[in-house]
Structure 1
Amino acid sequence: MDPLSGDAAPRTLDRREGPYGEVVLRERRGPGGEIHEIIANGCFLMDTSDGRSERLLVDAAHTALAGRPDPSVLIGGLGVGFSLAHAAAEPGWSRIAVAEREPAIIDWHTTGPLRRVSAAALADPRTTVLHTDLMAYLRHTSDTYDALCLDIDNGPDWTVTEDNSSLYAPDGLRACARRLSPGGVLAVWSAQPSENFERTLRNAGFSGVRTEEIAVARGVPDVVHLAVRPA
């Protein structure tokens, strides 16, 4: 039992060696019921205990588009499904794509316990699941979106795998900009603020760079970094 949260110790539901290392789905009993969490290469990614920051990621991008008609969104990382579910609950999005490179995570949503979060969103005709590495997709696709909502790491300064760091470098951010329509919005979730990442966004040609904080129960607030591709 976690003496601070009152949650029971987690039990492992599935453990797989994927193309990018080990991914684990765990379950624990919390005060509000079952909580599922995803661990990648021994690093905690996210769980189903809250979801406020994942929802704000999508809301912040939608609000920043300032009433643009029929916007489209690409979500980087399926995770526990909160961002996708929240996007699908918003009728204003005309097209919703989610890029996820781990087949295990897709399975946990399509046939596993995470269906309870994402089933309705996955059945939505606006939704497309792209089984692909986000960075490879950004570099090679010709698709464009009005918003990119990225949540594949614990932030620009705390990546799950070393190769993910290229996404937050100038070249990776320029690849993001190419996939955005003029005036489109990039939103990046992070477990902590990063002034260095804000500078990198500006150096990569983005404008309107700012950071929104999300209060958490303990510790440093989560944040969403926002930036706009100039029109």
Structure 2
Amino acid sequence: MPEAAGEPVVLERAAGVGGEMVLRRAGAHLEIIGNGVFLMDTRNGESERLLVRAAAEGLRGPARLLIGGLGVGFSLAEALLLPQVAAVTVVEREPAVVGWHRTLLRPWSRGALEDPRVTLQCADLLDVVADPRAGTFDALCLDIDNGPDWTVTPGNARLYGPAGLELLAERLTRQGVLAVWSANAAPRFEELLRERFARVEARPVPVPRGEPDVVYLARDPFPAARFPVTVSG
């Protein structure tokens, strides 16, 4: 059998917004594959949890968070444990991922989608942050790609450029923080953050294999927009 031989077993396939979405089992763990690219699994989640914990440090409650990317649910479940967090908006583009959290992925997100503090938006994150009706948040926690230099779909790269950072800064409250997860160091992205935010920190998170994950934290956006706001392709 494939699983006995150590090969992942596909549990479900679905047509997605960015290509085929696959949920598969590898031993005791589940993996999400998007358009042929490995996205996330249930093996650890330390850096995904750190993403929201670090973003929430120093926030005065009741705090309002936005999490970009549901993944396997580590970040959302962690956010709901923080006492200062009163409301969480989760933006997930792929309906299949949302559906899996009603079934096979539910143990990892701990049924968080049913928590009354959670609002789910099945939408593209770029569309959400570009809409002034979205309001402002005390923390924006982004984990929709493998990092600014390794996007799942080419269009996501717009979020990590000057115009995307401008839109994200507009969605922050005065105490707000932007937190971005990356599977590797992204020096050019860090430079762009420093051009738009007064306080920027890169926190490496050791992983069992390969280079550390990195959580980028940016606070205190400069008051004057330095770049034109345009998100066209």
Q: Distance in 1 between matches of 2:78 and 2:209?
A: 24
Residue type at the aligned position of 2:39: L
Identity %: 52
CA drift at 1:79: 0.5
**1:9 correspondence with 2:36:** no
Do 2:12 and 2:23's aligned partners in 1 also have CA atoms closer than 8 Å? yes
Instruction: Classify 1:145/1:67 alpha carbon distance in 2 versus 1 (closer, same or farther; 3 Å).
Output: closer
Where do residues 143-182 of structure 1 align in structure 2 (5 Å cutoff)? 143-182=135-174
CA drift at 1:67: 4.1
Count the aligned residue pairs: 219
**2:123 — aligned with what?**
132
**1:84 — aligned with what?**
76
**1:19 — aligned with what?**
17
CA drift at 1:68: 1.5
Residue type at the aligned position of 2:214: V
Q: Distance in 2 between matches of 1:171 and 1:183?
A: 21
Do 1:213 and 1:222's aligned partners in 2 also have CA atoms closer than 8 Å? yes
Q: Distance in 2 between matches of 1:165 and 1:71?
A: 28
Do 1:109 and 1:119's aligned partners in 2 also have CA atoms closer than 8 Å? no
- Structure 1 unaligned segments of length 5 or more: list them: none
Residue type at the aligned position of 1:192: N
Q: Distance in 1 between matches of 2:69 and 2:99?
A: 14
Q: Distance in 2 between matches of 1:136 and 1:106?
A: 18
- Structure 2 unaligned segments of length 5 or more: list them: 224-233
Do 2:59 and 2:175's aligned partners in 1 also have CA atoms closer than 8 Å? no
Do 1:180 and 1:229's aligned partners in 2 also have CA atoms closer than 8 Å? no
Residue type at the aligned position of 2:163: D
Residue type at the aligned position of 1:122: L
**1:68 — aligned with what?**
60
**1:59 — aligned with what?**
53
Q: Distance in 2 between matches of 1:217 and 1:28?
A: 17
Q: Distance in 1 between matches of 2:45 and 2:66?
A: 18
Residue type at the aligned position of 1:56: L
Instruction: Classify 1:7/1:157 alpha carbon distance in 2 versus 1 (closer, same or farther; 3 Å).
Output: farther
Query: Which residue of 65, 89, 92 maps to 1:97?
Result: 89
Do 1:72 and 1:94's aligned partners in 2 also have CA atoms closer than 8 Å? yes
Residue type at the aligned position of 2:20: E
**1:207 correspondence with 2:201:** no
CA drift at 1:8: 2.6
Residue type at the aligned position of 2:184: Q
* TM-score, normalised with respect to structure 1: 0.90
* TM-score, normalised with respect to structure 2: 0.90
CA drift at 1:7: 8.8
The farther-off stretch of 86-95 and 183-192 is 86-95
Residue type at the aligned position of 1:207: A
Q: Distance in 2 between matches of 1:218 and 1:20?
A: 28
Q: Distance in 2 between matches of 1:120 and 1:91?
A: 18
Q: Distance in 1 between matches of 2:174 and 2:43?
A: 36
Query: Which residue of 115, 122, 135 maps to 2:113?
Result: 122
